[in-house]
Amino acid sequence: MTGHSVLELLETHRIDADAVGGLTMGADPIVSNVATASAWHALTDPSAALLHGFLVRKAEKAHGTGRRIEGFCRKGAKVVIVDDVCTTGASTINAIEAAREAGMTVAAVVCLVEREEANGRAGVEAAAQGAPFLSLFTASQVRAEHLQQIEAAKI
């Protein structure tokens, strides 16, 4: 559901991208689910975009390829940065900076739950440099649903 929900959010906001990625570990399942959902959509709708996936390490590997980005990485590509929860925005900003350093263009930033911290949102929006910052849910929405479920269980 996460992959399909993020794709629907991107379609609603008319975000055109080549790939989706984010900082490992929080973004790992989101990247996998969005890339898989986009492949499924591409099979059923030939006009649908196929989104590749990539993961950003916190630091470059000291061995092997020494890369900070694993998976899709192409200069000039339009990418969507994803994160599970945006509070301070630090991990999201880290992924945005890594994508730009690799020569990719950030088309949008998506988090599953935005914690509605003013400094976190402002930091992510500044780092996104005009790319839209979208969320599937806000902390207020999650709290309200939780309280509604508690009340419903009492009946």
Domain boundaries defined on the chain: 2-154
Q: Which residues in the chain come in under a pLDDT of 70? A: 61-66
* pLDDT given at position 65: 65
Distance CA 73, CA 56 (A): 10
State residue 51's pLDDT score. 97
Helix (H) or strand (E) holding 43: helix 28-44
Cα(25)–Cα(91) distance, integer angstroms: 10
The predicted-structure confidence for 3-30, as pLDDT tens digits, reads as follows: 999 999 999 999 999 999 999 999 999 9
pLDDT at 147: 93
In this prediction, residue 121 carries a pLDDT of 84
* pLDDT of amino acid 64: 62
Domain 2-154 is in which class? alpha beta
